[in-house]
Amino acid sequence: MDRGWTQQRLADEVGVSRSSIAAIEGGHAERVALAVLLRVAAALGARLSVRVCWQGEALDRLRDERHAAIVERVLWLLTADGWIVRTEVSFSEYGERGSVDVLAFHPTVGALLVIEVKSTVPDLQATLSNLDRKTRLAPGLARALGWEVGSVSRLLVLPEDQTARRRVAQHEATFRAALPMRNLAVRRWLRHPDKPIAGILFLTNVSQDDNGRSRRPSRRG
């Protein structure tokens, strides 16, 4: 943002040397501390965005690819067990806006399943609150799709890795209270959804190969 300031004026506003401002303006921001960059951006009424990459890939892109791989595996499992599935089902009700990662319906028993997919271990309270909200709104979304709902269940899906397991273990009491059912019991329930449940499903085979493509899922859970 051009405010017509000289380098010295900006340096005085931020409280740094003029040489630091000159380095930033000359495209050498790596020579300046991150805290200084933040202050410069604030003084100019701007926002600093830092993009972290790993092995040449941006982390947000890797996260999105892994999320997509998990969703693909979830859809594969559900359709194999007779569920009708919809992804990214958006809602806007009473000022609440968002989307459900996967909304699934079992026509035989009228079971509705709300699935939240996380490629990284989420913020605990925010995740549980969002899942509660989406579960509350889900029957209305189902009616709009022409589904006659008999029960509503909810499921948090995470990748099967040490980080996810450790994070859940750190808050085991909270997760057990909110989402008590786990892998084997969840897989059995998906085949015979005879009652409403709440649980966590850790999914294997959702990593990426060297070309960035999701590996073909095996039939094992």
- Annotate 115-155 with DSSP letters as a single string: EEE-SSPPPHHHHHHHHHHHHHHHHHHHHHTT---SEEEEE
Ranges of each domain in the chain: 7-43, 60-203
Q: Where is pLDDT greater, at 87 or 208?
A: 87
Q: Where is pLDDT greater, at 214 or 47?
A: 47
Question: What pLDDT was estimated at residue 212?
Answer: 40
Kind of pairing between the strands at 111-117 and 198-203? unpaired
Mean pLDDT of 91-108: 89
Mean pLDDT of 61-70: 76
The CATH code of the domain at 60-203 is 3.40.1350
- Provide the pLDDT confidence category of residue 194 given band limits of 50, 70 and 90: very high
- Provide the pLDDT confidence category of residue 205 given band limits of 50, 70 and 90: low
What percentage of the chain has pLDDT greater than the value 70? 84
Question: What pLDDT was estimated at residue 51?
Answer: 57
